Amino acid sequence: MPEPLTVTFPPAFLWGAATSAYQIEGAVREDGRTPSIWDTFSHTPGKTAGGDTGDVAVDHYHRYRDDVALMADLGLTAYRFSVSWSRVQPTGRGPAVQVGLDFYRRLVDELLAKGIKPAVTLYHWDLPQELEDAGGWPERDTAHRFAEYAGIVGEALGDRVDQWITLNEPWCSAFLGYGSGVHAPGRTDPAATLRAAHHLNLAHGLATSALRSVLPGRHQVAISLNSSVVRPLSQDPADLAAVRKIDDLANGVFHGPILHGAYPESLFEATASVTDWSYVRDGDLATVHQPLDTLGLNYYTPALVSAGTAEAGGPRADGHGGGDHSPWPGAEDVIFHQTPGERTEMGWTIDPTGLHELIMRYSREAPGLPLYITENGAAYDDKPDPDGTVHDPERIAYLHGHLSAVRRAISDGADVRGYYLWSLMDNFEWAYGYGKRFGAVYVDYATLARTPKASAHWYAQAARTGTLPPARAAV
């Protein structure tokens, strides 16, 4: 089959990779860091595969210079990382621990010295345990504590970092952390799920204001949403109504107030049996509805739904773990179906058309707002060959397909300015432990040695040339 015509990206397009603090740093008890909810959750028997924890992870805290050198060797022009709240502000309140901030200062300096643009995510799911003990995200005060923390980090790094992301995938924090319980803190309370979602929105708005009060004028403030591409099983009106319900719970609950200053009325109707939303106070929506400089979109796979009952539908095929509790409050009458096609090791269907659809949706939802793909990638069962090389042609094909979808969206008028591959290297994959490898760089967990996979070399060629090599080019 002939390869498609050369796909060329704009000259200023950012070629990045992404990670998060708890998944890579390790050093969980060093330099004043205290436990986060993921430390507690991963140390609770039965919560993670094999009892795996992020205690060591891939030891990035001690190996960051080597890791940045590896990024430079791969031709990356941007790197998105998250800050550990517990490392900077161990109790989630009060003064910062400077030695914790110093780690991120050194990391940023190292990146800039190699010509790599840093993008800082303030929150990637690792709430300080003391704040969870005080109620966590369902409590309003947590949003105010987050704004204080955002100001601390912004003041420390704002002279060197232009790109800021307040929250990564707040849907996961609220709906998997407090609804299905498959993520930390592992609670299963539908009403608390929606309270958490609102307070995460409020945290974003308050943190955006806090950042802008301390950052230089050139900054860009964003949020990264894992907005779902929700498709109906059929065009039956009942199935279309199911799509609307899940779209509200997956997407509208965040982009409604953030982009438009209001929650969807249909969301209130669908969840009336769960909550009365009385925690949404006067002025909250104006606080949440801060103008964004850019918007981050994370995409992995679409969802396929129909009307029905959970009993009729069998196991919930929504891609968010097999917990006994649903992360979808008020949606007991919706069935999730496995989408057809090839799948990754996560069981997620490979469908680049969903990424194109997502980009074009947000181009319409927020015209004039620049977009970044802040996460996209795939897990495969990667293993080194006898000579130590790691061939991963499936990941190369995945990246080729999804980057082609990005370029098609740009051709269709979308203002997409960069792509962050998930992930730079294999790491702790939350409740799946170390069993799922998303990295472009292979990590031997026994020695922590790093080996770029064939996909890393393929991506490096794309980054250096601004064009996509053939999918078969497993260098």
- The predicted pLDDT at position 315 comes to 57
Quote the tokens at residue 261. 């200053």
Q: What gap in Å lies between CA 205 and CA 147, rounded to an integer?
A: 8
Note if 357 is an active site residue.
no
Q: How do beta strands 303-307 and 334-337 pair?
A: antiparallel
Please list, in sequence order, all residues whose beta carbon lies within 8 angstroms of the beta carbon of residue 424, skipping any fewer than 6 positions away.
Answer: 17, 18, 19, 67, 71, 79, 439, 440, 441
Say if residue 185 is preceded by a cis peptide, omega within 30 of 0.
yes
Match 């015209």 to its residue by tokens.
367
Q: What gap in Å lies between CA 117 and CA 251, rounded to an integer?
A: 29
- Give the three-state DSSP class for 123: strand
- The predicted pLDDT at position 3 comes to 42
Pick from 378, 390, 388: which is nearest to 343 by CA? 378
- The predicted pLDDT at position 218 comes to 85
Give the CA diameter of the chain.
Answer: 64
Match 């129909």 to its residue by tokens.
306
**Amino acid at site 292:** L
- Mean pLDDT of each 10-residue bin along the chain, 475 residues long: 64 98 98 98 97 98 98 98 98 96 98 98 98 98 98 98 98 98 98 98 98 94 97 97 98 98 98 98 98 98 89 70 90 94 97 98 97 98 96 98 98 98 98 98 98 98 97 60
Note if 169 is an active site residue.
yes
- The predicted pLDDT at position 1 comes to 37
Which of 25, 110, 132, 375 is the catalytic position? 375
Pick from 182, 180, 206: which is nearest to 193 by CA? 180
- Give the three-state DSSP class for 304: strand
CB 427 within 8 A of CB 58: yes
- Give the three-state DSSP class for 472: coil
- The predicted pLDDT at position 7 comes to 77
Quote the tokens at residue 322. 């097999």
CB 217 within 8 A of CB 299: no
- The predicted pLDDT at position 317 comes to 83
